[in-house]
Each structure stands twice: as structure tokens, then as C-alpha cells.
Amino acid sequence: MKITFCGAAGEVTGSQHLIECGKLKVLLDCGLFQGHRAESRRKNETFFHRPSDLDAVILSHAHIDHCGNLPGLYREGYRGPVICTDATADVADVMLQDSIHIQVEDARHLEKKRTTNQPRIEPLYTEKDVRGIIRQLEPQSYGQWISLFADLRIRFRDAGHILGSAITELEFQEKGETRRLVFTGDLGRRGLPLLRDPEIVPGCDILISESTYGNRVHEPPANLKAELLRIVQHAVATGGKVVIPAFSLGRTQQIVFFLNQMQLAGELPAVPVFVDSPLSNRLTSIFRRYTELFDEEVQSSLHTDADPFSFHGLTYIASQEESMKLNYRKGACVIIAASGMCESGRVLHHLKHSVEDPNNMIVIIGFQAEHTLGRRIVDRQPYLKIYDRQYTLRAKVEILNGLSGHADVNDFKWWYEGLASQTGVGQAFLVHGEPAASQALAGVLKDYCDEEPVLPKLHETFEV
């Protein structure tokens, strides 16, 4: 068997790994490289294999760094199946449609910097490619073995990372032997709101594990709920606005769920709450269809509260007009809007209208990359450039951590121990991590494997 690491090797985006066994060619994930625009474009526009030669693609979950280049495969002639869980198929449909606008926008920016002798820069893919690949999605249930070919069967287990996320078990038949490969996709955490804990799977010959936070210990999510309540109470007392920039997939639904729980417990003060993101609204309706995938806490609350994503005082904003009206609203309120790092979307309008008032609060949840407006707010820079104007930051800034969807070093230890306890682990590869995180995690993982864990480089191939 041969494994080639075509992405997420020594970095956290562009997840894509090619497995070749006998005549079979199977691709695990097909994500977009993200980050610096021109460099990402170079990495995303070519594949390190011939897409039309692939027999199957297995998709771990619908984050763009795992599914975002599937339309590129279609553009290059891939017409085979894309196997994923039912929820991932629905979420990927929405995420990929949304990604068309991002591709158009990125091409527009790159086109501005193009010199006259370079060819015109078109979007990475088009609506036709997205529609084409969505037709090829083949949704499957968790926990069932699926015979993809005579020599390969696979099974999805809950990864507890986002709705629909899966750990994939692959069993290849090679020269009369069964070779077991486990791919973590992105591994979730224990105790995250809404989601079940990652499932423990039996050991394997080959493990491909993510390592994003292999050198960190996260704060418990429960602290965040108490902090959120304190912030809302403060806003009600001062009559200020609370603006929460949030990712549309996962983060927004978790915050709404926390607020819903507070209201059920009689803790939430009477305050209007608005979710202002068309993408979040589309994704939340998918969450409502898959309540059976949520954890025990949600299951038991469903008996008395059928919809964990709605409560008295909560409004989902659809139109641009309603969104604009919020800017001139008086009195305390909570506005949850995309995007998470404050780089685009409706949250920019809300920030523009709220950062200069000391009664307001900006609540930043989770990691903010360098050179983003979100990071400048975290750093409490005195002046913020929003669109083309400078604003003075007078609002209070609150930073809440604890909702990361990725395993920390303790979650990894717990999960590896479960994996290794039955039949052990042969060779492990650590992907999807900055070098420092992967190296630290290799130190932990080596105790559970027969061989030293490998940190593959981009485009490196291993015979296993």
C-alpha cells in the first residue's frame, strides 16, 4: 500500500491524502489550502494526482479545508463517488454553494494584482463544478460497514468535531491479508456542547491522525457558558449591545444552544437576540433535521423542548434590510453574526456601528488569525479600520475560549489509549498541524505505536 500526503502536511489546511492499494486509488478528503491568497491559489489549482484516475473519494467532514476543493476534482474530470455521512452531505452542499462567492471574490482580488503579460485569473471553480460534485455525494450512516469495492470496505464513526464529522475505518484486502487504516479527519473533544464525544475505534495497522492542538490544553466549554451569561447580564444592566462575530457552522449553533439552555433554566434576562447570517440560518435548519446525532444532554432536553435552536426573544434575520435596521436599534440586545474572524459578512456593519460606544461589548470567541480584524480587536488596538474608515475602539472587548472543536493533548491521549488498547497501532502519520504541535503530539503518540510516528512533508509518499 502507498500513501501520498497531498495536503495538510506540516500545516492545518488543504487536507488531502491519496491511498493506493493494488489497483485502487482512494482519496481521503479534498480540502482547500487557506491563508495567503496568491500562494493558496497556486497550491489549489493543481492536483498532485490525476483526478480522473481516482476510484473513490472519502470525505471526513464539511469544513472547507477538508471539502472545499471537491469542485476542483470535478473540473478536472473526476466522476466517481464521494462517500460521506448523511449530515456531511447536507452541510457540504451548503458550504460548497457558499464557497462559489468566495472563489469569485478571491479571483477579483488576484486579478487586481495581475501584470499585463499574465493570463486572466478566473475563479478556481464555478457553479457548474459545484453542482456536478454535489450530485456525486453518496451519503451513508454512521456505524455501518460499506463495501465500496471487492477489496475495500469502510465504516464511519462519530468524530465529535462538527455535525456529521467522521473518523473513517478502512479495511483493504491486500495479498490475502486485511490491512486496517484509520483516518481521524478532525478529531473532536469530550464535553463539547451539542456534539457526542469522539468514538473509540479498534486499533489499526496504519493511523493518519490530525494534530492541530497536539501541544495545548483547552479550557472547559462549561466556563464559557457562565461567562456568556455574565456578559448578557452586564449588557442588560447598561443597555448596551453585545456583538458576537461567530462562524456560521457550529459556533453559532453552540452559542444559540447555550442561550436556549439559560432561558430554559430561567437564568437568561429578557433581551432580544438576533442571529444575522443567511449562511447560519441555512445551516441551523440542517442541525434541526439531525437532532438524533446530538449528545445525551440534547436528547433528554428534546422531551421538553423540541427545538434547541429557538427560544422566546430569538430572531433569525434573513434580509439585508432587516439586518440594516439592527444598526439603529436602541437598548440592550445580542447580535450573533458572521464571519468568525471579522473579515467579511454582515458582522462588519454591526462592528462599525458599535465599536465606538463604551456601553457595547464585542465578544471574540476562539482563535483569530494574524492580520485579521478579529485579531486587531483581540489586541485591543485603539483604532480599527472597517471598510474604508477608521473607528476608535471604545467598546469593551471580551475574549472567550473553550469552544475549539479540536482535541487537545489530553483528548488525544484518551483517544489513542482506547485505539491502542485492543489490537495496537502499527505505523502512525501526523498531519493537519503546525510542526511544533505535530512534534509535541508525536512524543505522546509514540507510546501507543510499534513504529516512531512520522511527520510527512507535502507530496511525500510512503510504502506501508
Binding site residues, Zn ion, CB under 5 A: 63, 186
The residue among 11 and 186 lying less far from Zn ion, judged by its C-beta, is: 186
The residue among 1 and 94 lying less far from Zn ion, judged by its C-beta, is: 94
The residue among 14 and 132 lying less far from Zn ion, judged by its C-beta, is: 14
Q: Tell me how far apart the alpha carbons of residues 67 and 111 are, in angstroms, rounded to a whole number.
A: 25
The residue among 63 and 251 lying less far from Zn ion, judged by its C-beta, is: 63
The residue among 106 and 186 lying less far from Zn ion, judged by its C-beta, is: 186
Contact 289, 90 (CB under 8 A): yes
Minimum CB separation of residue 165 from Zn ion in Å reads 7
Minimum CB separation of residue 244 from Zn ion in Å reads 21
Q: Tell me how far apart the alpha carbons of residues 322 and 311 are, in angstroms, rounded to a whole number.
A: 19
Q: Tell me how far apart the alpha carbons of residues 312 and 413 are, in angstroms, rounded to a whole number.
A: 41
Minimum CB separation of residue 154 from Zn ion in Å reads 19
The DSSP code sequence of 348-399 is: HHHHHTTTT-TT-EEEEES---TTSHHHHHHTT-SEEEETTEEEE--SEEEE
Minimum CB separation of residue 175 from Zn ion in Å reads 35
Minimum CB separation of residue 212 from Zn ion in Å reads 9
Minimum CB separation of residue 42 from Zn ion in Å reads 23
Looking at residue 240, the DSSP 8-state letter turns out to be -
Minimum CB separation of residue 278 from Zn ion in Å reads 22
Contact 256, 314 (CB under 8 A): yes
What b-and-e string marks burial along 378-394, b requiring 16 or more CB atoms within 10 Å of the CB? beeeeebebeeeebebe
Minimum CB separation of residue 268 from Zn ion in Å reads 30
In 211-360, where do the E strands start and end? Answer: 241-245, 273-276, 314-317, 333-337
Residue 220 dihedral angles phi and psi, to the nearest 5°: -70, 140
3 state SS for 167-189:
EEEEEEEECCEEEEEEECCCCCC
Minimum CB separation of residue 161 from Zn ion in Å reads 5
The residue among 142 and 316 lying less far from Zn ion, judged by its C-beta, is: 142
Gyration radius (Cα) of the chain, Å? 22
Minimum CB separation of residue 162 from Zn ion in Å reads 6
Q: Tell me how far apart the alpha carbons of residues 346 and 7 are, in angstroms, rounded to a whole number.
A: 31
The residue among 186 and 276 lying less far from Zn ion, judged by its C-beta, is: 186
Q: Tell me how far apart the alpha carbons of residues 362 and 350 are, in angstroms, rounded to a whole number.
A: 10
The residue among 165 and 360 lying less far from Zn ion, judged by its C-beta, is: 165
Q: Tell me how far apart the alpha carbons of residues 97 and 424 are, in angstroms, rounded to a whole number.
A: 41
Long-range contacts of 97-101, Cβ-Cβ distance < 8 Å, separation of 24 or more: 97/130, 98/279, 99/32, 99/64, 99/68, 99/71, 99/130, 100/125, 100/126, 100/127, 100/130
SS3 33: coil
- The residue type found at 172 is F
